Amino acid sequence: MAWLMSEARVFASVELANDRHTRLKGLIGRDTIEGAFVIPSCRWVHTIGMRFPLDIAYVDSANVVIKTESLPRRRVGMPVPSARMVIEAKAGAFERWGLRVGDPIEIRTTDPNEVR
């Protein structure tokens, strides 16, 4: 189990896309997601094949949110060259959580090898 956190605030549970299959499939084919989907070593995403719009956060190498956007279904986002990780959630989640540009991000897990 992993958690998306910022300065001791827990935003949501996390699914980590740490293997090739999970990264390629992403959220395609799902009707929803309850927490966050985190893709390490990622600079851009798309919503082609998605059944719901997404909130996207781009995180830099210092683990700080550098950009957020809402991406409707069937769209391709613009690459963010300085991003090293992407956080996806169902549209509206970031507003509910209070996640904003400038927030330091931590993925806390019981397995230190889980976040790469």
CATH of residue 91's domain is: 2.60.120.1140
Q: Is 77 left (phi over 0), alpha (psi -120 to 50) or beta?
A: beta
Per-residue confidence band for 113, with pLDDT thresholds at 50, 70 and 90 = low
- Looking at the domain assignment, is residue 116 inside a domain? no
The tally of domains found in the chain comes to 1
- Looking at the domain assignment, is residue 46 inside a domain? yes
- Looking at the domain assignment, is residue 114 inside a domain? no
- Looking at the domain assignment, is residue 66 inside a domain? yes
N residues, the chain: 116
pLDDT for residue 112: 63
**Domain span including residue 66:** 2-109
pLDDT tens-digit readout, 79-100? 999 999 999 999 999 999 999 9
Whether the pLDDT of residue 114 is over 80: the answer is no
pTM of the model: 0.92
- Looking at the domain assignment, is residue 33 inside a domain? yes
Whether the pLDDT of residue 69 is over 60: the answer is yes
Closest CA to 48 of 34, 65, 30, 28: 28
pLDDT tens-digit readout, 22-53? 998 999 999 999 999 999 999 999 999 999 99
- Looking at the domain assignment, is residue 115 inside a domain? no
pLDDT for residue 12: 97
pLDDT for residue 20: 93
